[in-house]
Amino acid sequence: QVTLRESGPALVKPTQTLTLTCTFSGFSLSTSGMCVSWIRQPPGKALEWLARIDWDDDKFYSTSLKTRLTISKDTSKNQVVLTMTNMDPVDTATYYCARVPITIFGGVFDYWGQGTLVTVSS
């Protein structure tokens, strides 16, 4: 059974750095073709892809946010960490992590976490 769960602060101040952790089970990021992505969704708005990390430690970032994002993994803990620097109120959103089994379905997100709402406010 595949599960993912996001964790991190619910509230951050402007200019602070956000650190989110995705803890997953039911698959391994050391398996060839397995990846994890982060996606966010501002309240009432559309989904926005942020970043992806692959089993071989390849990393990909949103063009518009890549200077602020860092994605990393701890395979032994089944965790993926996303950091976003210089947070702004426009970054208020629900942040999701999702599994990406490249060799099964291509780059789609087949399992999602429940999401964590992050509010940026002073």
Cα dist from 88 to 9, 15, 31, 34, 92, whole Å: 14, 6, 36, 32, 8
Q: Tokens representing 69?
A: 């994002």
**Contact call for residue 110 and another protein (CB under 8 A):** yes
Window 81-100: residues binding another protein (CB under 8 A): 96
**Contact call for residue 46 and another protein (CB under 8 A):** yes
Q: Nearest to residue 37, comparing CAs of 14, 58, 57, 54?
A: 54
Q: How far is the CB of 120 from another protein (least distance, A)?
A: 21
**Contact call for residue 10 and another protein (CB under 8 A):** no
Contact 101, 26 (CB under 8 A): no
The residue (of 30 and 114) whose beta carbon lies closer to another protein is: 114
Binding region for another protein (CB under 8 A) out of 9-17, 21-29, 54-62, 69-77: 54-62
Element (H, E) at 105: helix 102-105
Positions in the binding site for another protein (CB under 8 A): 37, 39, 46-49, 52, 60-63, 96, 105-110, 112-115
